[in-house]
Amino acid sequence: MNVSMNDHSRKDDVGQCFQPVSHFSPQQSVELCPTRGSIVVALLSACVLFLGLPSASAAGDESGFNKIFNGSDLSGWDGNPKLWSVRDGAIVGQTTAENPIKMNTFLIWTNGLVADFELRCSFKIVPNNDKGFANSGIQYRSQIMDSNNWVVGGYQADMEAGKTYTGILYEEKMRGILAARGEKVLLDKDCQKQVTGSLGKSEDLQAAIKQGDWNDYVIIAKGNHLQHFINGKQTIDVTDECEAKRAMKGVLALQLHAGQPMTVEFRDLRMKTLGGSEGASSGATKAFEGNWIVTAVEVGGRVLSADDMPHLEIRITDGAYKLLNLDEDNKETGGTFSLNSGTEPKQIDIKPKGGPDDGRTLPGIYEANGDTMKVCYNRAGTKRPSEFSTTNDASAILITYKRKQP
């Protein structure tokens, strides 16, 4: 890929450079320029994450939540295409008498690992058999046991068509049932289970679950504290102090259980990162406000020379950003961003406002160390990068930023 920049692609022709990257062929020397707006957004997003802006946690408040399913296809998910599909805005897992499965299989979220987070979604599970059997679950902080067959093991927020297991904490392929519905549990340092309290009778919690219809599921994992909620009612509360067996991060996945024909559906999946940064003061945030500049750019595995570097400067104020050194036509260019620090690598979704990329979402990853930020994102707005490199991804761009000293 030719990533050199001629004189027409520099600051004196910013308007041309702000065309979407997809409008240029790989041979055009101005290819890097269209990323200026999104580069700035990425920097600002990384800065805000590093600052630790406050996040709301009140029930029903959607602040800080990011969609992890686009409602139209399985982009960002990996599973057996014979079993998983999208229908009417929902992820559908289905087995039939003609297409059964002999082992539990999973649809795995591919955009990173989860650590401390809150996940919200709706589910519906229906038995397509005369036994009344259907079982599924949401895996989190889990491990891929067999990638060829999409087999996952670890913490599971359980669900079924029956009246016993929905809402429990099960550990697939590991310790089994860690908390029955209604239990408050301590898994102590010796890995022994202690029931320390009650959240209510299992049958009373079951009464709030709508059989064969849509129900809301919430999973909160923070440190070694795990909680499940269904339709607003807490079903389990677990503190896992068993360091030898507990998981602090891992994959997210949806289960399709072996056995009788069944259908499970998931919709409105969204997730928010939780962490020690919650409640950070505005004073701490202001300590990171100021101007930032691009110091390095890599495209197609090649680091641009100093002569080819675009001179970009942005200003962060009150969690917002704005490009400073643009011409009159582009002076209002900026954007918004959403962050997920509970994955590895940490994730950023860049949403430019104004210009040809207005309304698009550019998925990326980032890391921040003091006055330096590094962001790698997909210029085409498709697959999120998995590493801080552009060698194996022609659509990726890697940018390093440094705070501008007064």
Same domain, 191 and 78: yes
Same domain, 251 and 315: no
Instruction: Let me know if residue 59 belongs to a domain.
Output: no
Q: Name the domain count of the chain.
A: 2
**pLDDT tier, 305 (very low <50, low <70, confident <90, very high otherwise):** confident
Burial 30-45 (b: 16+ CB within 10 A, else e): bbbbbbbbbbbbbbbb
Instruction: Let me know if residue 60 belongs to a domain.
Output: no
Instruction: Let me know if residue 2 belongs to a domain.
Output: no
Residue 328 pLDDT greater than 70, yes or no:
no
**pLDDT tier, 315 (very low <50, low <70, confident <90, very high otherwise):** confident
**pLDDT tier, 214 (very low <50, low <70, confident <90, very high otherwise):** very high
Same domain, 46 and 86: no
Three-class secondary structure of residue 44 per DSSP? helix
Q: In this structure, are residues 5 and 30 in contact, taking their beta carbons and an 8 Å threshold?
A: yes
Same domain, 253 and 365: no
Q: What is the pLDDT of residue 204?
A: 96
Listed range (35-49, 239-253, 319-333, 353-367) with the worst mean pLDDT: 35-49
Q: What is the pLDDT of residue 296?
A: 87
Residue 42 pLDDT greater than 70, yes or no:
no
Structure tokens, 385? 């990068």
Domain ranges, residue 313 = 7-53+280-403
Task: Quick: pLDDT tens for 288-297.
Answer: 567 878 888 8
Which of 240, 273, 306 is the last residue before a domain boundary? 273
Mean pLDDT of 10-21: 31
DSSP letter string over 18-36?
TS-GGGS-TT-TTTTGGGH
Same domain, 34 and 103: no
Task: Quick: pLDDT tens for 234-285.
Answer: 999 999 999 999 999 999 999 999 999 999 999 999 999 986 433 333 333 3
Which of 238, 273, 308 is the last residue before a domain boundary? 273
Q: What is the pLDDT of residue 274?
A: 87
Same domain, 193 and 261: yes
Percent of the chain with pLDDT over 70: 74
**pLDDT tier, 61 (very low <50, low <70, confident <90, very high otherwise):** confident
Residue 103 pLDDT greater than 60, yes or no:
yes
